[in-house]
Amino acid sequence: MLTYHDAYAYFAKSYGWKVIGALQAGDFGEPAPSEIVRLIEQIKREKVTTIFGSEVFPSAVLKEIGSATGARYESSLRDDDLPGKPGDAEHSWFGLMRYNYRTMVLGLGGKPTQLDALDNAPVISNSAKFPQ
């Protein structure tokens, strides 16, 4: 798994996914050309199928790495922008986490059947008690 931010390494570790790297530097700058070459070689060697980016921080570099390696560039992981509109069942922390997890499972070749079956109605009814 290659992501745009190393925060997803913690998520991946919980589910036993191998993370080969994160592109975002500590200063939010672009990676050096030598780093890009190393990532391209590693992606090809490890047969990475999807590179995960963010809808908040689009990356032309990740998109180009995807083109160079044949990996699909998935640019829709969410950091803090809740899916849906206020009042929608998915417009919650639960909805955000399910969206990201579902996106990663699909990108890694899995089927999110159990995620799709989860009901977040209790989450919505409980969250209504807190101001937004």
Residue ranges of domains in the chain, CATH in brackets: 1-78 (3.40.50.1980), 82-132 (no CATH)
Report which secondary-structure segment, H or E, holds 74.
strand 72-77
C-alpha to C-alpha distance for 115 and 132, rounded to whole angstroms: 25
Q: What is the distance between the alpha carbons of residues 72 and 83, in angstroms, rounded to a whole number?
A: 22
Residues 32-55 have pLDDT tens digits of: 888 889 989 999 999 999 999 888
Give the model's pLDDT for residue 70: 95
Q: How many CB atoms neighbour CB 74 within 10 A?
A: 20
pTM: 0.78
DSSP character for 78? -
Calculate mean pLDDT across residues 63-74.
94
Tokens of 8: 């997803």
Helix, strand, coil shares of the chain, percent, nearest 5, are 45, 10, 45
